[in-house]
């Protein structure tokens, strides 16, 4: 990936992470929890969502460590009070799914533009195609990665909603050591979700990564 493409990817994944967090707050507000709205987080203003570590430092460090091969970012999590959500079992899972769903929608919109863009008739669109590919890839990355069922990722909230009450101790264990498992996943197991991202990219765009 060229330097300019890397910078564009950095910007796209930051903006997409902000939309991701906004979607959490939007869904929580619809389900009875106004916490994000009252905290001024129900906005797309980047200043309300930028996290110094997750949105700026982490991507820079990961780019440096991976030699430009891998970049990930997250925005400041929106505050959610589960006690305000009416559906105690599935409400929090719905709030959690709203973030990845927003990234999938973005990937679909730009991916379909990429799929039906008349590139053959206009070769000058090649650079534009590259930018669209980055947008689709970045959002599929956020979509798939956040659905991994490891706390504090969104997939863990869905897992907790599905697990029976008899496995409460497992929930407590995952919540206590989730961050450790997450770092193990990022540095040693991340490659296992790449085929999923590549498959979705091909299904949506008709192109291979």
The 10 Å Cβ neighbour count of residue 166 is 7
Query: C-alpha distances in angstroms, 98 versus 31, 59, 206?
Result: 12, 23, 26
Whether 159 is a known active-site residue: answer no
First CA to last CA distance, the chain? 12
Q: How many angstroms separate the CA atoms of 144 and 103, rounded?
A: 9
Task: State the catalytic residue, choosing from 21, 33, 51, 154.
Answer: 21
DSSP for 146-200, written as a single string: HTSSSTTSHHHHHHHHHS-GGGHHHHHHHHHHHHHHHHHIIIIIGGGGHHHHHHH
- Helix spans in 40-189 (H): 58-66, 91-116, 126-146, 154-162, 168-184
CA angle 107, 186, 201 (to 5 degrees): 25
Q: How many angstroms separate the CA atoms of 53 and 104, rounded?
A: 24
Q: How many angstroms separate the CA atoms of 187 and 181, rounded?
A: 10
With residue 122 as reference, give the H or E element that holds it.
none
| Residues with active-site annotation | 21
């Amino acid at each position: 990936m060229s330097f300019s493409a890397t910078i564009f990817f950095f910007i796209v994944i930051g903006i997409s992470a902000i939309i991701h967090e906004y979607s959490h707050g939007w869904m929580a507000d619809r389900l009875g929890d106004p916490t994000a709205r009252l905290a001024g987080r129900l906005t797309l203003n980047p200043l309300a969502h930028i996290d110094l570590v997750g949105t700026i430092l982490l991507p820079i460090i990961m780019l440096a460590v991976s030699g430009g091969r891998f970049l990930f970012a997250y925005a400041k999590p929106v505050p959610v009070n589960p006690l305000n959500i009416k559906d105690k079992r599935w409400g929090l899972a719905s709030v959690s799914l709203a973030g990845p769903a927003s990234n999938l929608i973005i990937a679909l919109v730009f991916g379909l533009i990429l799929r039906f863009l008349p590139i053959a008739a206009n070769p000058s669109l090649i650079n534009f195609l590259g930018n669209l590919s980055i947008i689709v890839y970045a959002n599929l990355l956020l979509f798939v990665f956040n659905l991994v069922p490891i706390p504090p990722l969104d997939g863990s909230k869905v897992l907790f909603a599905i697990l029976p009450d008899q496995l409460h101790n497992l929930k407590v264990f995952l919540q206590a050591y989730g961050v450790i498992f997450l770092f193990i996943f990022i540095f040693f197991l991340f490659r296992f979700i790449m085929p999923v991202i590549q498959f979705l990219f091909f299904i949506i765009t008709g192109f291979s990564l």
